[in-house]
Structure 1
Amino acid sequence: MTIEQSPAPSDVADVYDGIGQIYGSAWGPNYHYGYWDDADDTSSIEVATDRLTDMMISGLDVRPGQRVLDVGCGIGHPALRLVRTGDVDVVGISVSHVQVAQANELAAAAGLAEKAKFQFTDAMDMPFPDGSFDAAWAFESMWHMPDRGQVLSEIARVLRPGGHLAIVDVIERGPVSPEGRKVLDHVCENYAVKSLGTVDEYRTALAANGFVDVEIRDISDNCNRTLAVMADAVETKYDELAALVGEEQATSLLAFMRLSAVTPEQGYLYLAAVRA
């Protein structure tokens, strides 16, 4: 298998500030995967992405008035859904100034600026006091982190004892074939992905950082359809994408999204845990 694609931006902020803006205009406000119940589920991407958000909200088990940390907040749409559903206060962090500005604008437009605040912050070195949050979540941001263990250590530090953590993330599923390895390596090299974790690595890192009552579910079969659906959506914005990266790159980006959707070694997990 040959993967023909020139490099996409390698910096996390560059990915989301550039190509990500086109993806978002085609995809909608949820910059994350969707969840379908089974192969016969014909839910729209809007329904499927909100369904995954609701799964994460359930994992946090928050109560009104609590304070939640959103690690890698994107443009804040899941956070605003959490605020509305749980009546909580959210602080979202991102390394994209563009996304932070958009998230604060969305919160203001929704009348939720006092409940949802977003700021530029490195998740590996957060400026928050110990025990200052009741819960935390990370929506597909952990695969961009240079050191997931360090991020989990920081999350554990800023969570109070008994605080809940929920994560969804793209992962590596073994055994990995040579063809699958090419796809996974290409993802890491071209999409500002530092590395793809595994279920076992997450279990080890969570235990090392004081998390208990760990629930991990491989939900790849429910979520990997996202990539094919996203390719269809982005194709409707082909001219904008080609203007940004060139026609050859635009065509190869779409082809790679479709290839990733049928690569079983690229998986997706949901986890919930409690800070001891």
Structure 2
Amino acid sequence: MLIDSHCHLDFEALAADIDGVLERAAAAGVTGMVTISTYVDKFSTYAAIAERYPNVWCSVGTHPHHADEELHIQTDDLVRLSAHPRCVAIGEAGLDYFYDNAPREAQATGLHRHIAAARITGLPLVIHSRKCDDDMAAILRQETAQGTFPFLLHCFTASESLARTALDLGGYISFSGIITFRNAEEIREVAKFVPADRYLVETDAPYLAPIPHRGESNEPSFVRHTAEKVAEVRGISLEQLGAETTANFHRLFTKVGPV
């Protein structure tokens, strides 16, 4: 039993065939997934998908690429929308210095607002972090000192240092198909030491399809390949990984309910 903790069912590559996507996921042993928000102003779209399927949940948040487009979104807006019964997380929000599609100040402003919403609601903050390790670590430390909040570093591609900082602060780490790539040895090293109660798996579909599907459109059923690689790296069975990551998902995404 596996759960895809991060996908984008509203994106064109998946939206045209959601029924088929879910059927293939079920056949691969994927029992649930979270479709992740990139624009708060599109929250009704994510909520409608989650309302339609009992094993799909959604989040509410602004991707850092669009941070400057949604500076009108305040913490109160996030808290209000997150009360929807199918909304189980805040985000994704964070920092992306690789693309720098939005001014860094706007990205940081959005991240702080999302952290505040996670602290108020108790819902996990799904964090996007790319090429910003020092600033992300500093913000996480600063904000945690003001009050803890649940969070998940999704699609982990950062350094061992950021991983250890996040874990020290009580965070979780999620591995995507990138861990199957030949040049991802640093990520595989992180996957070895993350505690058994602090890691998840995801696709980030339709992006980042794992080997043997690299170059194709990704979808939740492919999370099985990521899970197999993480299990191999950790020296455990796929069954044990499924049990651990499913338990971790429910412990972090408390609004989903028990296993």
TM interval, shorter chain, is 0.3 to 0.5
Report which of the two structures shows the higher radius of gyration computed on alpha carbons.
1
